[in-house]
Homo-oligomer: A and B are copies of this chain.
Amino acid sequence: MESMGNMIRTHSCNDLRKANVGDEVVLMGWVLRRRDHGGVIFIDLRDRWGLTQIVFNPETDPEAHAKAHQLRSEWVLAVRGKVEARPDDMANPKLATGEIEVMVSELRVLNSSDTPPFPLDEDIEVSDSLRLQYRYLDLRRPEMAANMVMRHKAVQAIRTYLDDHGFLDIETPMLTRSTPEGARDYLVPSRVNAGRFYALPQSPQLFKQLLMIAGMDRYYQIVKCFRDEDLRADRQPEFTQIDMELSFVDEEQIITVTEGMIAVLFKKTLGLDLTPPFARMTYDEAMSRYGTDRPDTRFAMEIVDLTAIAATCGFKVFREVADGGGTVRAINARGCGSFSRKDLDDLTSFAVQLGAKGLAWVKMKAAGEWQSPIAKFFTDDERAAIARELDAVEGDLFFFGADKPAAVCQVLSELRLELARRLGLLKKDVFNFTWVTDFPLVEYDDKEKRFQALHHPFTAPREADVDRLETDPASVYSRAYDLVLNGTEIGGGSIRIHQRQMQARVLKVLGIGEEEARDKFGFLLRALELGAPPHGGLAFGLDRLMMIITGSDSIRSVIAFPKTQKATCPLTEAPAPVSRKQLTELYLRPDWKE
């Protein structure tokens, strides 16, 4: 292997154009492909920026040509050469550098490579675990490299925007105290303080509130957060949050500054011009129209409430649900009347898996005729009324949900998405933002037999509802807001409680007495007694946001070194065993089978 010697790179592998013809250049990069044609060797040299074709001609430089014969995929080269125009019929219009090639006069082989465990120049299926084990190879693939570049651009755009708007980037501790976010903490045993543990932050929630109380006025941080939860496809043990907090503002100012940030983000990453203000919808409206507080508004297919009709109809199942305080709702899958028996069976299983007892469907035929197992239970008038409510025409297909409201919402909202998936309505190049506002402050937890905060215990109640806090907590709305993009909650936040008395009242509603409160976050309560300004903020999930921006199917595609669903890293083999001495130093003993 050779050193770079006196060679200094002059261009990236994506720089050279026809205007460079005649220039002497130095390129460095990886061998993507080698082709030999009539004694001439052609190599696609790759770096982060792109590809350039380099050419070894035995007549130009016999020595380099001879060396080039040994080159294999992923070897690392430095080449000096002259930029030449490709003959017109050899130009590659798909490649930015496709009009030129570099005739090599000096070759240095900076490193060799074993044959990679999977090829990088073909779009073949590679197992996730192999990709993660050889992540450094996986990241060489242009799509993955582009994701990393996009993520960099995104955070840089956000940072610049927030800097321009008076936000201070302030770091909060990683070794901290368990915050009451509800999820399980990752713990870090202390060696100096026997029997005590740090927790890795689930979010910097309390610290950012303290920073507002400290007068920092506008804070942001792009920060790692941690949850030791059972993992799903979209979850990682550590994830990155764009965390913001502002003082002396209300919802409107926070929403405005956030919309500006999102607009800049999409401009700087995708070149798109979003046009704030974004749509807004109350929680109640989102639940009734979409059955979820994360409405995907890229398509309509809204949920329609038919309880009134159902209450008097001839179909006993519906009638009983309506009479028993339940709800009957439906969605109209426009033009899906041609769905097959199998389609309907699949959708029925889908609904049953979500907890439905079955799935009533109706195919709308000509002249308002219904093709449906339940057609016979409805009068002509009822059918007409239902069709009117659903705005149904010939060729439509509709589905009913009849149950308690929460159950119906869950089934119909998921069914709506499944239908959209089948119909290709979930377009990746459409970006529909919706603010969901006016959430309930609390919800009743049937298992724990107490009220839980819908967001977190520091969310302010709506001022107009405060009088009902103790008497009818379920009717109190909060000053929380979520930003939903294409059916995914990408961010959320609230105006916080900044007064000690109010915080105590809300904690009491949540069943947290003064003593427990003082024990868990006494420092926040104390801070509220020492001049806390009105404040609020929000946090975005960067990984999910980048997944949507890059059109990726998994958040793993936008994280350089992600973990598996078992929270392991196939590359480094973390987590790993430690020595007994290390445990002893931490005042711990094993409680596992070795």
Q: Could you list which residues of chain A lie within 8 angstroms of chain B, going by C-beta atoms?
A: 1, 3-4, 8-9, 28-30, 46-48, 74-76, 78, 110-114, 116, 134-140, 145, 148-149, 151-152, 155-156, 159-160, 163, 168-178, 184-200, 206-207, 210-211, 213-217, 224, 226, 228, 237-238, 240, 247-248, 250, 253, 463, 498-499, 523, 527, 529-534, 559-561, 563, 566-569, 571-578, 582-594
CB-CB under 8 A for A533 and B110, given A198-B574, A207-B561: yes
**Which B residues are CB-close (under 8 A) to A577?**
195-197
Using CB atoms, name the residue of chain B closest to A176.
B574
Flag if A174 contacts B238 (CB, 8 Å): yes
Classify the interface of chain A: helix, strand, loop or mixed. Answer: loop
CB-CB under 8 A for A499 and B1, given A46-B215, A76-B532: yes
Flag if A578 contacts B187 (CB, 8 Å): yes
Q: Which 8 A-B pairs have the closest CB atoms?
A: A113-B531, A139-B214, A196-B575, A74-B531, A177-B574, A587-B592, A136-B214, A194-B592
**Which B residues are CB-close (under 8 A) to A173?**
238, 561, 563, 569, 574
In the bound complex, CA of A237 to CA of B159 (Å): 27
In the bound complex, CA of A519 to CA of B184 (Å): 31
**Which B residues are CB-close (under 8 A) to A197?**
575-578
**Which B residues are CB-close (under 8 A) to A152?**
163, 168-170
Minimum CB–CB distance for A221 against chain B, Å:
10
Flag if A139 contacts B531 (CB, 8 Å): no
**Which B residues are CB-close (under 8 A) to A113?**
529-531
Instruction: Among B9, B111, B192, B561, point to the contact of A532 (Cβ < 8 A).
Output: B111
Flag if A136 contacts B174 (CB, 8 Å): no
Flag if A569 contacts B177 (CB, 8 Å): yes
Minimum CB–CB distance for A567 against chain B, Å:
5
In the bound complex, CA of A194 to CA of B576 (Å): 10
Flag if A193 contacts B159 (CB, 8 Å): no
CB-CB under 8 A for A211 and B76, given A248-B4, A499-B1: no
**Which B residues are CB-close (under 8 A) to A191?**
184, 228
**Which B residues are CB-close (under 8 A) to A28?**
247-248, 533
In the bound complex, CA of A234 to CA of B532 (Å): 31
In the bound complex, CA of A589 to CA of B587 (Å): 9
Minimum CB–CB distance for A114 against chain B, Å:
5
Flag if B523 contacts A572 (CB, 8 Å): yes
**Which B residues are CB-close (under 8 A) to A567?**
175, 190, 192-193
Using CB atoms, name the residue of chain B closest to A209.
B136
In the bound complex, CA of A588 to CA of B190 (Å): 14
Instruction: Among B3, B136, B156, B563, point to the contact of A175 (Cβ < 8 A).
Output: B563
Flag if B574 contacts A584 (CB, 8 Å): no
Minimum CB–CB distance for A379 against chain B, Å:
55
Flag if B248 contacts A576 (CB, 8 Å): no
Flag if A155 contacts B177 (CB, 8 Å): no
In the bound complex, CA of A224 to CA of B215 (Å): 24
Minimum CB–CB distance for A187 against chain B, Å:
6
**Which B residues are CB-close (under 8 A) to A195?**
577, 590, 592, 594
Minimum CB–CB distance for A578 against chain B, Å:
5
In the bound complex, CA of A7 to CA of B347 (Å): 53
Flag if B531 contacts A3 (CB, 8 Å): no
CB-CB under 8 A for A137 and B175, given A498-B111, A531-B76: no
**Which B residues are CB-close (under 8 A) to A534?**
3-4, 76, 110-111
Minimum CB–CB distance for A70 against chain B, Å:
14
Instruction: Among B4, B8, B149, B586, point to the contact of A168 (Cβ < 8 A).
Output: B149
Flag if A137 contacts B588 (CB, 8 Å): no
Using CB atoms, name the residue of chain B closest to A585.
B184
In the bound complex, CA of A112 to CA of B533 (Å): 9
**Which B residues are CB-close (under 8 A) to A199?**
574
25 residue pairs of the A-B complex, CB under 8 angstroms, read A1-B499, A8-B253, A9-B248, A46-B215, A74-B530, A76-B534, A139-B211, A139-B214, A149-B168, A170-B560, A171-B240, A174-B238, A176-B572, A177-B575, A184-B585, A185-B582, A187-B578, A190-B567, A192-B567, A193-B566, A195-B590, A206-B572, A583-B591, A587-B591, A588-B588
**Which B residues are CB-close (under 8 A) to A582?**
185, 187
Flag if B530 contacts A196 (CB, 8 Å): no
In the bound complex, CA of A527 to CA of B237 (Å): 25
In the bound complex, CA of A592 to CA of B586 (Å): 9
**Which B residues are CB-close (under 8 A) to A590?**
195, 587-589
In the bound complex, CA of A566 to CA of B248 (Å): 36
In the bound complex, CA of A113 to CA of B116 (Å): 65
Minimum CB–CB distance for A417 against chain B, Å:
29
Instruction: Among B29, B111, B530, point to the contact of A116 (Cβ < 8 A).
Output: B530
Flag if B237 contacts A573 (CB, 8 Å): no
**Which B residues are CB-close (under 8 A) to A253?**
8
Minimum CB–CB distance for A227 against chain B, Å:
11
Flag if A196 contacts B76 (CB, 8 Å): no
In the bound complex, CA of A574 to CA of B192 (Å): 12
Minimum CB–CB distance for A40 against chain B, Å:
24
In the bound complex, CA of A8 to CA of B159 (Å): 25
Minimum CB–CB distance for A594 against chain B, Å:
7
CB-CB under 8 A for A226 and B190, given A1-B499, A196-B576, A198-B574: no
In the bound complex, CA of A113 to CA of B214 (Å): 13
